[in-house]
Amino acid sequence: MIRTNVVKLATIPAIAFRQKLTAGGSGITILRPDVKQPGIASISTKTGEAIPAKNTDVKL
């Protein structure tokens, strides 16, 4: 269940929402409907850098 606001992205077919990160703190998770895994990447709110999920295909 997502309890935060969901934002539809314009540049890729995906949505983004705020979520607690496994490393601690919170970040923004990117979710694509055409990919089976729950999230393709997270974006750190501290650095702004993308943190790809372990099973993310580099072509995405």
Q: For the chain, what are the domain ranges?
A: 7-52
pLDDT in tens, 3-53: 778 889 898 888 888 887 777 777 777 888 887 777 777 777 778 887 787
Q: What are phi and psi of 16, to 5 degrees?
A: -130, 145
3-state helix, strand, coil split of the chain in percent (to 5) is 0, 35, 65
The predicted model scores a pTM of 0.62
